[in-house]
Chain A
Amino acid sequence: MKILLVLLDKEIRQFWRNRFLPVMTIVFPILVMLIFPWITTMEVRNVGVVVVDGDRSSASRRLVSKIGASDNFSLLGTAPDFNSALAALEAGEADIIVEIPDGFGEIRAEEHRNVSISANGVNAVKGALGTQYMLQTVMRTQAELLGEKMPFSPADDIAVLNLYNPTLEYRFYMIPALMIILMIMLGGFLPALNLVIEKEKGTIEQINVSPVGRLPFTLAKLIPFWIIVLAVLSVAMLIARFVYGLTIAGSAGAIYSASVLFVLAMSGLGVTVANHSSTMQQTMFEMFFFVVIFVLMSGLITPVESMPEWAQWITRLLPPRYFVDIMRAVYLKGTTVAELWREYLALGGFALLFDTLAVVAYKKQA
């Protein structure tokens, strides 16, 4: 116990003496939380639209002005024919071509004149969502025109209500994910690098020849980063609250208890990796391997449910997957620990596994 305090004292002194680390652990999370929620959005805005107006009626002008007024679109102009519009799309200026046929305004049920929408599918998300938005715009215009001609509206609008995130604010979906990415980066990389630097500099040799046991040594490598990561999480939650107005629907205790388990697992993984590598490069590469898998497969960005069956099986082996579920559920829905006991249990299991590995993998003797 006394040894652990001696080692911790050394780690903390070294942390503050480092020119780069304290700054990074403060600035990096703040930057991530201030910048990325604005960037990592799945909402598509400013889809470039070129209109080929074959109708030139008040009805077609109404559709064009609706397109121009929408935030989702930026109306680049009209083209005389489809081919010149296609040239704009090929040049990369436009994303969508809307071709309004002659007779668009004279809506009769029996002979329907189709508006054609052609989208650039290179950016699949932009193409698909842009088309979707455009369809809605065209249909709404048609419904309006129809309503003006026939006094009785044929159909009521379908009512949509988004529970837990009423405005479907993509940022609210992403902010808990960004917190998790921060915790993966800081909780995993910092202890791993700290340990492998001792290996590279050879300072670990002196420790190895001393009677210091591997348990206090490993704990001294882990504990400072548990504290750092929880502090960073607190800052991130304050930013979420005061910059984006995102409050925790559930309890902060549920967030913190999951975070403790998660950072225990991540730091254990980091130290295990460092124990098996001899250089910083090796450690970084291995850690990046895990981080890429964690970020892409844990449901941070794309939902686990839409992955192929085999991939969903893999996600069960990833600690962040459970943490993602907990964070989003507690943050947005207000789910309680009791309801999420399986996820907490899984995280606890990973924490135990990785921290045990971290201690066992540290070998003083080659």
Chain B
Amino acid sequence: MEERNAIEVRELTKRYGGVTALDRVSFEVGCGEIFGLIGPDGAGKTSLFRILTTLLAPDGGSASVNGLDSVADYRQIRRQVGYMPGRFSLYADLSVEENLSFFAALFGTGIRENYDLVAPIYSQIEPFRKRRAGKLSGGMKQKLALCCALIHRPSVLFLDEPTTGVDALSRGEFWDMLDGLRRCGISILVSTPYMDEAGRCDRIALINEGRILGIDTPQGLVDGFDEGVYELSGDDMSGLLARVRAERGISGCYPFGAVHHVVAAEGFDAVAFVARIAAEGFSGVSMQCIGAGIEDVFIKKMGR
């Protein structure tokens, strides 16, 4: 028997009045895969999640989870998926333990029956099980929310920006937890605005303004980048930006943290270029070839 995809999205469209939030989006997520949706705020990620979790009806196209249609079979989908909304949405006035057992009870189960699944995560917050959820730190809230989304043993997990507003260390831990869940056979659709988290996914879709810009493994996307990327820095950063953009043969230059990224076709002579602009009066200029990152891919695809 052919293995079924956990999630299949075909030509999915959603409009709010005149705004198109999702424009003929298609992708599929295999069983046991961590699939990342990478895109800025307002890209349509949350609309996509709400359709897949049966909270929102699409205007066109179809979405299915475990082979069940998001509109026709919504009841069955609700039993099989776990959803962690982008906003903390547990009961702040209930304790950690009460929240978890409440969400277990909603699905007709209990903490004990599913303890093995959540144990690696829950054990970290268990010392605080009597504490009200509202009084937890950001990282602990997020762990509790993940536990609550998992407590009924879903086969597909939807995580809408789970790491937004969480410190870098907790974010790393969180992704480690997702790796553990994948080993348990759970398929995960996760969205994030952080490009650096893309590398933790099996495959990613770049999404912007309701359109998918590309779908591949993180490495595949980077390998598909057919131009050279250079890191440029100097004393007069804003002057450099203007100067490089005026140069012929350079397809893009944009600020990237403390440096600029310069995208140029194969055969671009960086050494000669640095010498040339140093002669024009730019001091402290350094330029070296680096590999393209997901963000470079994103910016390039977005510009197209």
A and B: partners? yes
Residues of A within 8 A of B (CB): 2-3, 6, 10, 13-14, 17-18, 201-212, 364-366
In contact, A365 and B74 (Cβ under 8 angstroms): yes
Instruction: Give Cα A46–Cα B29 distance, bound, in whole angstroms.
Output: 81
From A14, A204, A207, A364, give the contact of B94 (CB < 8 A). A14
Residues 103-133 of chain B, each 1 if its beta carbon lies under 8 Å from chain A, else 0:
1011110000000000000000000000010
Query: Known: A10-B102, A206-B89. Contact between A366 and B78, CB under 8 A?
Result: no
Residues 74-113 of chain B, each 1 if its beta carbon lies under 8 Å from chain A, else 0:
1100110101010111111110001000110111100000
In contact, B57 and A201 (Cβ under 8 angstroms): no
* Least distance between B141 CB and chain A CB atoms (Å): 13
From A202, A210, A366, give the contact of B89 (CB < 8 A). A202
From A6, A13, A17, A18, give the contact of B106 (CB < 8 A). A6
In contact, A201 and B81 (Cβ under 8 angstroms): no
Minimal Cβ-Cβ distance residue in A for B77:
A209
In contact, A10 and B78 (Cβ under 8 angstroms): no
Contacts of B55 in A (CB 8 A): 205, 208-209, 364-366
* Least distance between B36 CB and chain A CB atoms (Å): 21
Contacts of A366 in B (CB 8 A): 50, 55-57
Residues 35-56 of chain B, each 1 if its beta carbon lies under 8 Å from chain A, else 0:
0000000000000001001111
Instruction: Give Cα A3–Cα B107 distance, bound, in whole angstroms.
Output: 9
Instruction: Give Cα A212–Cα B102 distance, bound, in whole angstroms.
Output: 12
B262 within 8 A of A: no
Q: What is the interface residue range for chain B against chain A?
A: 20 to 34
From B57, B90, B93, give the contact of A18 (CB < 8 A). B93
* Least distance between B264 CB and chain A CB atoms (Å): 46
In contact, A203 and B89 (Cβ under 8 angstroms): yes
Minimal Cβ-Cβ distance residue in A for B98:
A13
Contacts of B54 in A (CB 8 A): 209, 364-365
> Can you give 12 contacting A-B residue pairs, CB < 8 Å?
A3-B105, A6-B105, A13-B93, A13-B98, A202-B87, A206-B83, A210-B103, A210-B106, A210-B107, A211-B79, A365-B54, A366-B50
Minimal Cβ-Cβ distance residue in A for B54:
A365
In contact, A6 and B102 (Cβ under 8 angstroms): yes
Instruction: Give Cα A10–Cα B93 distance, bound, in whole angstroms.
Output: 10
In contact, A14 and B91 (Cβ under 8 angstroms): yes
B253 within 8 A of A: no
Contacts of B132 in A (CB 8 A): 17
In contact, B105 and A211 (Cβ under 8 angstroms): no
Contacts of A208 in B (CB 8 A): 55
In the complex, besides A202-B85, A205-B85, 20 extra interface pairs with C-beta distance below 8 angstroms are: A3-B105, A10-B94, A17-B132, A201-B89, A205-B89, A206-B83, A206-B85, A206-B89, A206-B103, A208-B55, A209-B54, A209-B83, A210-B103, A210-B106, A210-B107, A211-B78, A365-B56, A365-B57, A366-B50, A366-B56
In contact, B108 and A2 (Cβ under 8 angstroms): yes
Contacts of A10 in B (CB 8 A): 91, 94, 98, 102
In contact, B106 and A3 (Cβ under 8 angstroms): yes
From B53, B79, B81, B91, give the contact of A203 (CB < 8 A). B91
Contacts of B79 in A (CB 8 A): 211
Q: Which 5 A-B pairs have the closest CB atoms?
A: A202-B89, A6-B105, A210-B106, A209-B83, A17-B93
Instruction: Give Cα A211–Cα B56 distance, bound, in whole angstroms.
Output: 16
B25 within 8 A of A: no
* Least distance between B79 CB and chain A CB atoms (Å): 5
Instruction: Give Cα A2–Cα B108 distance, bound, in whole angstroms.
Output: 8
In contact, B83 and A205 (Cβ under 8 angstroms): yes
Minimal Cβ-Cβ distance residue in A for B53:
A209
* Least distance between A6 CB and chain B CB atoms (Å): 4
Residues of B within 8 A of A (CB): 50, 53-57, 74-75, 78-79, 81, 83, 85, 87-94, 98, 102-103, 105-108, 132, 148
Instruction: Give Cα A42–Cα B107 distance, bound, in whole angstroms.
Output: 57
Instruction: Give Cα A111–Cα B215 distance, bound, in whole angstroms.
Output: 109
Contacts of A364 in B (CB 8 A): 54-55
Minimal Cβ-Cβ distance residue in B for A210:
B106
In contact, B106 and A212 (Cβ under 8 angstroms): yes
Instruction: Give Cα A203–Cα B81 distance, bound, in whole angstroms.
Output: 17
Contacts of B53 in A (CB 8 A): 209
Contacts of A210 in B (CB 8 A): 78, 103, 106-107
Instruction: Give Cα A66–Cα B50 distance, bound, in whole angstroms.
Output: 78
* Least distance between A198 CB and chain B CB atoms (Å): 9
From B56, B93, B148, give the contact of A206 (CB < 8 A). B148
In contact, A209 and B89 (Cβ under 8 angstroms): no
* Least distance between B96 CB and chain A CB atoms (Å): 14
Minimal Cβ-Cβ distance residue in A for B154:
A209
Contacts of B88 in A (CB 8 A): 202
Minimal Cβ-Cβ distance residue in A for B92:
A201
From B87, B94, B107, give the contact of A211 (CB < 8 A). B107
Minimal Cβ-Cβ distance residue in B for A366:
B56
* Least distance between B21 CB and chain A CB atoms (Å): 12
* Least distance between B8 CB and chain A CB atoms (Å): 19
Minimal Cβ-Cβ distance residue in A for B57:
A365
In contact, B92 and A13 (Cβ under 8 angstroms): no
Instruction: Give Cα A41–Cα B93 distance, bound, in whole angstroms.
Output: 42
* Least distance between A236 CB and chain B CB atoms (Å): 28
* Least distance between A168 CB and chain B CB atoms (Å): 49
* Least distance between B53 CB and chain A CB atoms (Å): 5
Contacts of B85 in A (CB 8 A): 202, 205-206
In contact, A203 and B90 (Cβ under 8 angstroms): yes
* Least distance between A194 CB and chain B CB atoms (Å): 12
Query: Known: A6-B102, A14-B94. Contact between A209 and B87, CB under 8 A?
Result: no
Instruction: Give Cα A14–Cα B92 distance, bound, in whole angstroms.
Output: 9
* Least distance between A216 CB and chain B CB atoms (Å): 10
From A6, A203, A207, A211, give the contact of B75 (CB < 8 A). A211
* Least distance between B154 CB and chain A CB atoms (Å): 10
